């Protein structure tokens, strides 16, 4: 039993040690807007996943407002 717990702990440590660390500390340092390559992508999202399209638009608008940029 102790060996199993030790192996689980070691596995979790190994998995989490590879996570990237964020060097910046502001919202604008860790995020970026998402752009679509074509109008077909937007049309597909409108027909199949309006929720995702809405989330992407909100994220892009938040980035533009918070980071004071023109997209």
To the nearest 10 degrees (0 to 180), the angle between helices 50-66 and 39-48 is: 120
Res. 53: pLDDT tops 80: yes
Reported as a pLDDT band with limits 50, 70 and 90, residue 26 is: confident
Is 10 domain-assigned?
no
Q: What is the average pLDDT across 52-71?
A: 89
Is 2 domain-assigned?
no
Is 43 domain-assigned?
yes
Is 61 domain-assigned?
yes
Neighbours of 22 (CB within 10 A): 9
Res. 46: pLDDT tops 60: yes
What is the per-residue pLDDT for 69?
73
Whether residue 47 contacts residue 53, with contact meaning beta carbons closer than 8 Å, is answered with: no
Is 3 domain-assigned?
no
Looking at the 3D structure of the chain, how many domains does it have? 1
């Amino acid at each position: 039993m102790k060996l199993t717990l030790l192996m689980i702990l070691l596995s979790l440590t190994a998995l989490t040690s590879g996570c990237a660390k964020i060097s910046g500390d502001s919202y604008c340092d860790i995020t970026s807007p998402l752009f679509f390559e074509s109008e077909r992508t937007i049309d597909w999202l409108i027909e199949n996943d309006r929720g995702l399209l809405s989330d992407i638009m909100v994220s892009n608008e938040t980035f533009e407002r918070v980071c004071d940029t023109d997209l």
